[in-house]
A and B are shown apart, each in its own frame.
Chain A
Amino acid sequence: MRVTQGCFSFLPDLTDEQIAAQVQYCLDKGWAVNIEFTDDPHPRNTYWDMWGLPMFDLRDAAGIMKELADCRRVYGDRYIRISGFDSGHGWESVRISFIVNRPREEPGFRLDRSEAAGRNLRYATHSYAADRPEGERYADQ
């Protein structure tokens, strides 16, 4: 399966040149750019691990692309995403976010149902990846 979180998951994986253009878009808007990675892409997993602090005050995407390359070297077997953060009043939040790296195999999710009163069901989304301990989830790739 393919996790379709983020802004560009329905397009073919972005090339580095395309990623750099999106990063430059963020910088030109004055947003801070953040690189995050995870081995549990559960849709409600908000806090991916940060690759260093969000990068403020940069002018050119090259610096971020260098960090991305470094992050991929260490965590290339996981999901990595880039986000642009706007500290402007009324936003103070993420303004764009997109996946820039995926594990080779994406195991996806199981939907667990448990029957409740009447015809009600309780649902739980279960990451197959999380069946393994943290850090070993995509180890055999």
Chain B
Amino acid sequence: MNIQQSMTVRGKDRYKSGVMEYKRMGYWEPNYEPKDTDVIALFRVTPQDGVDPTEACAAVAGESSTATWTVVWTDRLTAAEKYRAKCYRVDPVPNSPGSYFAYIAYDLDLFEPGSISNLTASIIGNVFGFKPLKALRLEDMRLPVAYVKTFQGPATGIVVERERLDKFGRPLLGATVKPKLGLSGRNYGRVVYEALKGGLDFTKDDENINSQPFMHWRERFLYCMEAVNRAQAATGEIKGTYLNVTAATMEDMYERAEFAHELGSNIVMIDLVIGYTAIQSMAKWARKNDMILHLHRAGHSTYTRQRSHGVSFRLIAKWMRLAGVDHIHAGTVVGKLEGDPNTTRGYYDICREDFNPMQLEHGVFFDQNWASLNKLMPVASGGIHAGQMHQLLDLLGEDVVLQFGGGTIGHPRGIQAGATANRVALEAMILARNEGRDYVHEGPEILAKAAQTCTPLREALDVWKDVTFNYESTDAPDFVPTPSMAV
């Protein structure tokens, strides 16, 4: 890495049979200047002991593009130099001996237009099991505008979602029906009705609510829609419930989605585990059927959580914005699930901005232009409650769904009271923020004041006043390491 020059073998020797180092095959090109149309990937590479870091990074470029373990003459039937991914920069990771950031550029022709499956099959296809590496993590990608434009993007987007729901200027409120498993359709609908009537905008199926012996999917859909319509008439406000259509086959999913549509639902839900192709199919279906598409990121932590190996969640967020979902769970910072504040800010920016400037302290390694692709609504869910409203608003902003599952259903005076507590806390905080008050510091006072005219809020504040989740984050940015927010 000190000698920043190409080691690529040129001429006849390049294609002599046998094994050749990747860095000599053309996968290490320190003088390469990425084109505007290149896809750029940033990997965290941890080579096995004794493996030359440059060679390891070149191997990642090779294995995620054209190379195999030996020289093949058939390369000469192609414009091989164009198709070879080029590692053009290798930096040691700060405070992390033995790990390196490898910047690799890929020509746009390597990828099928509008296909996340194809994109990921290349970039994270084989290479993560490559033996000379101890660990490998995909940290970020720069997607060229030319490629972004081949994707549909969010079926509905934040702006149109708000217009359809007639809800502006505040985060949306939701709750996941609890207990996760075991409720019958009739009981399940009761929870939905109470929560929506009490003041939430949405309720939500959990990721593993599909069609089980205690509640088959049609029962759930029918009772839920009765609840939604009743709550809508009781409040004069548009309401919704994310009906999870995740199923074993695409045919089953379409059948469930069609039924939700027939019943007048405005939103359906899928789980990340259904796979990228199925997600893109559902996004197309949602666009065609005026349906908001909620994605639960079920399963992501198996590969996103550890800093050394896997895929950063920021890539999942990027891919899902391209793929076309409208909602994605992106962390809460203060709740029960993993989430460093700066890293989480990076995820939210990826979902919501039209342009992301490079911002290393948020883990955003590249400028990313979204070329007016719809904005993706982040969802904050897991272990949050009304008493944190000022922090949530400060950390997550206004374009977000705040999901208070336990924080609604666990209210001592019932679900409606829980929902009302959350809604009043939220409205009071927005009011104060817009009035120019220092709501972050005065948050507890603002809530206490609002509780004077809202008993449910006072009870909620009393019950959950001491609940916090303070653990060290496992995925903080490398450039400004910070522990999880202490609240």
- Which A residues lie at the B interface, using CB under 8 A? 1, 3-5, 7-12, 14, 18, 21-22, 25, 41-44, 46, 83-84, 89-98, 108-111, 119-121, 123, 125
Question: Which residue of chain A has the shortest Cβ distance to B370 in the bound complex?
Answer: A90
A-side interface mostly: loop
Determine if B424 and A90 form an interchain contact, defined as CB atoms under 8 angstroms apart.
no
Determine if B236 and A1 form an interchain contact, defined as CB atoms under 8 angstroms apart.
yes
Q: Which residues of B contact A46 (CB under 8 A)?
A: 166
Also in contact, A21 and B424, with CB within 8 A (given A43-B238, A90-B354, A109-B236): no
Determine if A12 and B453 form an interchain contact, defined as CB atoms under 8 angstroms apart.
yes
Question: Which residue of chain B has the shortest Cβ distance to A17 in the bound complex?
Answer: B435
19 contacts between A and B (CB under 8 A): A1-B234, A3-B235, A4-B199, A4-B235, A4-B236, A5-B166, A7-B168, A7-B430, A10-B454, A21-B435, A43-B166, A46-B166, A92-B159, A93-B159, A95-B169, A111-B229, A111-B230, A123-B225, A125-B229
Interface residue total, chain B, C-beta cutoff 8 A: 39
- Which B residues lie at the A interface, using CB under 8 A? 159, 162-163, 166, 168-170, 199, 222, 225-226, 229-230, 232-238, 262-264, 354, 372, 375, 420, 423-424, 427-428, 430-431, 434-436, 450, 453-454
Determine if B229 and A91 form an interchain contact, defined as CB atoms under 8 angstroms apart.
no
Also in contact, A125 and B431, with CB within 8 A (given A7-B168, A83-B168, A120-B263): no
In the assembled complex, the Cα of A92 lies from the Cα of B163 at a distance in Å of 11
Determine if A10 and B199 form an interchain contact, defined as CB atoms under 8 angstroms apart.
yes
Q: Which residues of A contact B264 (CB under 8 A)?
A: 123
Q: Which of B169, B354, B428 contacts A89 (CB 8 A)?
A: B354
Determine if A96 and B168 form an interchain contact, defined as CB atoms under 8 angstroms apart.
yes
Shortest distance from the beta carbon of B201 to any chain A beta carbon, whole Å: 10
Q: Which of B168, B199, B232, B450 contacts A125 (CB 8 A)?
A: B232
In the assembled complex, the Cα of A14 lies from the Cα of B199 at a distance in Å of 18
Determine if A120 and B222 form an interchain contact, defined as CB atoms under 8 angstroms apart.
yes
In the assembled complex, the Cα of A111 lies from the Cα of B226 at a distance in Å of 10
Shortest distance from the beta carbon of B194 to any chain A beta carbon, whole Å: 15
